[in-house]
Amino acid sequence: MEFKKHVQVRKEKFGMVIFETLKEKVFVTNPTGAEIVERLKDKKTPDTIIAELAEQYGADAGAIAEDVNCFINNLVRQEVLAK
Amino acid sequence: MEPTKNFNTTPGMAVYGTPSFETAPALALAGENFDDFKAPLFLAWQINSVCNLGCLHCCEEAGHRTPGEMTREQIFNFLRQVRELGIPYVAISGGEPLLHPDFLEVAGFIREAGISLKVETNGEFIDNRLVERFAALDFRSVQISLDGATSATHEVLRLKGDWKKSHTAVKNLVKKGVTTEIVFVPTSFNIHEVGPAIDMAYNLGCYGFYTGKIMRIGRAALNWDKLNPTEEQYKAFFRILDEKTKQYENKMKVYYYPYDVIEELKYRLQKPSASLLVVPNGNTKLIGPLPFICGNVKEQPLAEVWERYKKSWREPKVIKFTKRVIKDPNLLAESNKWQNVFETR
């Protein structure tokens, strides 16, 4: 799973900005979204991301999985992330 | 933890080449406004003002060298800051950027930094050697100005221009796999050829075709009465664009901005873009159609210029002048008579 060729990401105070420079579309996330994007940049799998976030937040992995998968699917649907 | 709650898409770009974004009104978020960003998202850089052509509609009045253009050392000092600030996307234009002696080295630096790069050129200097280099540098795109589907139409606007050279450049770039776009500026001389020009772009294998109303700035402002299409011409133009957009849907991006520069200024007064426009001598303009500069990248760190840019849009003199321009578009002719926002006269 990786970001598409012309996609640039940058950390901001509010979270992350994702810029699809070929289509010239800008997306923003909140800090939690930024945590996922950073891990995707590091080429971590959804399962790893879920496990890491569950540990970091001390939260239920099932609930986190739902959010993470939904977020990732959204990135795929917006054609910034390739599965 | 609700990452999706605040994840919003923003279509919207390309108002005169600068990306912009909007979020759904119901979701007011950080990241919605330009001043939420720690650095620009986009840098439009006119690297030089020298040009081999004398286009009637040039928005920069390009041709001769601007006094005080950045030296090689200043350019690379500037580029190191672009990299450090994490600016994701740069567009280099001119003048004619391929006439800049350091162009290839500059492009190489930007790409090595992982920054997306678009080059806006008339295409006349793109020979086989450059096609190879461009392909290797893997630009986001090369955008070539072609103002007609025929040499006669193109060359009546682009004085000293050679349609065949630009056309050949597009063909060769596409053949080599370089993402190539055509930009077409409608005037009373060429507006009738927009349909054939879009077909030509598609047949050449272009990624996109960009157009929109001509901007009343630079040399275009001086030639406005000759160049500005009539309302009827614009109606037919937009009708053709609608048809072609549908015809080439999912095959080639046909992008056009339906508003004119005044609409753009009204919008930008409320929502400035997260971008900087740097001209050849390092001056940084708020936006092409206004004369205001907020700093100079030769004299101030780029991070400081960005802060000055954000502050400038709230300066009463900027707001007042912009409102005057909106009422009286003749003032657009002042766009290249630079005024520093922070200097009192």
Other Cβ atoms within 10 Å of B68 Cβ, number: 13
pLDDT tens for chain B, 345 residues: list them. 333 333 332 222 222 222 222 222 222 344 568 888 999 999 999 999 999 988 888 887 767 888 899 999 999 999 999 999 999 999 999 999 999 999 999 999 999 999 999 999 999 999 999 999 999 999 999 999 999 999 999 999 998 999 999 999 999 999 999 999 999 999 999 999 999 999 999 999 999 999 999 988 888 888 999 999 999 999 999 999 999 999 999 999 999 887 788 998 999 999 999 999 999 999 999 998 899 999 999 999 999 999 999 999 999 999 999 999 999 988 888 887 889 999 865
Residue B6 confidence (pLDDT): 30
Which residues in B lie closer than 8 A to residue A24 (C-beta atoms)? 13-14, 19
The three-class DSSP label of residue B157 is helix
> CA-to-CA distance for B244 and B261, rounded, in angstroms?
23
Residue to substitute from A23, A30, A55, A74, interface B, most B β-carbons within 10 A:
A30
Residue B345 confidence (pLDDT): 54
Residue to substitute from B2, B7, B35, interface A, most A β-carbons within 10 A:
B7
B188 exposure class (CB count in 10 Å sphere: 0-12, 13-18, 19+): middle
Is residue B140 within 8 Å of B117, Cβ to Cβ?
Answer: yes
What CA–CA distances, in Å, run from B271 to A45, B264, B266, B315?
37, 10, 9, 14
Structural domains of chain B, ranges and CATH numbers in brackets: 41-258 (3.20.20.70)
Out of A27, A53, A71, name the one closest to residue B9 (CB).
Answer: A27
> CA-to-CA distance for B50 and B256, rounded, in angstroms?
28
Q: What angle do CA B88, B91, B95 make, to 5 degrees?
A: 160
DSSP state of A75: H
> CA-to-CA distance for A2 and A5, rounded, in angstroms?
9
Is residue B124 within 8 Å of B79, Cβ to Cβ?
Answer: no
For tokens 């991006």, the residue is B253
Side-chain-facing half-sphere of B309: CA atoms under 13 Å: 31
Give buried/exposed letters for B242-271 (b at 16+ CB in 10 A, else e).
Answer: eebbeebeeebbbbbbeebbbebbeebbee
Side-chain-facing half-sphere of B141: CA atoms under 13 Å: 24
Which residues in B lie closer than 8 A to residue A35 (C-beta atoms)? 3
Which residues in A lie closer than 8 A to residue B1 (C-beta atoms)? 32, 53, 57, 59, 63-64, 67
| Sign of the CA dihedral with B83 first, then B284, B123, and B100 last | negative
Out of B7, B140, B179, name the one closest to residue A71 (CB).
Answer: B7
Which residues in B lie closer than 8 A to residue A64 (C-beta atoms)? 1
pLDDT digits (tens, 9 = 90+) for B210-269: 999 998 888 888 899 999 999 999 999 999 999 999 999 999 999 988 778 899 899 999
Q: Kindly state whether B188 is in contact with chain A, defined as any CB-CB distance less than 8 angstroms.
A: no
Inter-chain contact B7–A14, Cβ cutoff 8 Å?
Answer: no
Residue B218 confidence (pLDDT): 82
What CA–CA distances, in Å, run from B286 to A73, B129, B139, B308, B335?
37, 36, 26, 10, 11
Helix (H) or strand (E) holding A48: helix A46-57
Chain mean position to CA B49: 14
Structural domains of chain A, ranges and CATH numbers in brackets: 2-82 (1.10.10)
> CA-to-CA distance for B312 and B273, rounded, in angstroms?
13
Q: What are the two backbone dihedrals, phi and then psi, of residue B105, each rounded to the nearest 5 degrees?
A: -70, -40
Residues of chain B numbered 114-173 and touching chain A (CB < 8 Å): 114-116, 140-141
Q: What is the dihedral of CA B325, B326, B330, B331, to 10 degrees?
A: 10
The A-side interface with B (CB below 8 A) comprises: 6, 8-10, 12-15, 17, 19, 21-30, 32-33, 35-36, 53, 57, 59, 63-64, 67-68, 70-71, 74, 78
> CA-to-CA distance for A9 and A20, rounded, in angstroms?
9
Q: How far is B29 from chain A (nearest CA, A)?
A: 9
Q: Which two three-digit tokens encode residue B175?
A: 């053949």
Out of A12, A57, A70, name the one closest to residue B31 (CB).
Answer: A12
Residue B24 confidence (pLDDT): 24
| Cis-peptide into B54, omega within 30 deg | no
What CA–CA distances, in Å, run from B251 to A24, A60, B172, B206, B305?
17, 45, 19, 9, 40
Residue B234 confidence (pLDDT): 95
Residue to substitute from A28, A36, A49, A79, interface B, most B β-carbons within 10 A:
A28
Q: Which amino acid is at B156?
A: V
Q: Kindly state whether B337 is in contact with chain A, defined as any CB-CB distance less than 8 angstroms.
A: no
> CA-to-CA distance for B215 and B206, rounded, in angstroms?
24
